[in-house]
Amino acid sequence: MAKNKLNKNWLHDHINDPYVKLAQKEGYRARAAYKLKEIDETEKLIRPGQIIVDLGSTPGSWSQYARHKLAGGENGGINGTIIGLDMLPMEPIADVQFILGDFREEEVLVQLERILAGRKVDLVLSDMAPNLSGIAVADAARVEHIIDLAIEFTRAHMKPSGSLLVKCFNGTGFNELVLKFRKEFKTVVQKKPKASRDKSSEIFLLGKTLKNLV
């Protein structure tokens, strides 16, 4: 009974959410687009000519927003490259190259390298999150694991001057994640966009310019 009430409350909040309505009106697949939009507007992350990788891109709203920012290329295309990766299928987005699979696997990395053709990435985006259990210590470990994967990917594929934006949660283990980011990046910023629900502990970490390059 309590679960049904929770589901009804969530549905009510979702239907009446101004960002959900805005996403429907502007053609974005999820309200998450406005989280990236707000961070981008303050941090100037996305610029024409960039190579952008969207980790865990499905359903595609971050890739859609990035495409919107890179629009204006030849023949109505984009000025830049956007690559989405996810283990779940994603409906096609014009000018976005999508790779289905786990980015830790050789087969997926070969496809990525083919698209990059020796180029390095300017911006890595990760809106990935694990399925949370409600057990703080276990959830913190899962979030940390995903962020470790994003950092590892970034070190392998990004320009030294590039940026990594990841989703995490403000709670158990968060301070350790901030320290981890400070070890990896010269500039670290915490962002809680307005489109992130007040009740949510969701927070984004932005790292700019890699440190300790060999």
Indicate which residues carry an active-site annotation: 167
- CA atoms of 71 and 80, how far apart (whole Å): 9
Handedness of CA 151, 156, 158, 160 (dihedral sign): positive
Cis status, amide bond into 59, omega within 30 of 0: yes
- CA atoms of 164 and 182, how far apart (whole Å): 12
Does the annotation flag 62 for ligand binding?
yes
Q: Two tokens at 12?
A: 């009510």
**Contact between residue 97 and residue 67 where contact means Cβ atoms under 8 Å apart:** no
**Contact between residue 53 and residue 157 where contact means Cβ atoms under 8 Å apart:** yes
Q: Is 35 helix (H, G, I), strand (E, B) or coil?
A: helix
Does the annotation flag 86 for ligand binding?
yes
**Contact between residue 32 and residue 61 where contact means Cβ atoms under 8 Å apart:** yes
Does the annotation flag 95 for ligand binding?
no
**Chain CA centroid to CA 33, Å:** 10
Does the annotation flag 10 for ligand binding?
no
Does the annotation flag 127 for ligand binding?
yes
Q: What phi and psi, each to the nearest 5 degrees, are found at residue 113?
A: -60, -35
Q: Two tokens at 204?
A: 């984004």
- CA atoms of 51 and 154, how far apart (whole Å): 13
Residues of the binding site: 60, 62, 86, 102, 127
Binding residues for S-adenosyl-L-methionine: 60, 62, 86, 102, 127
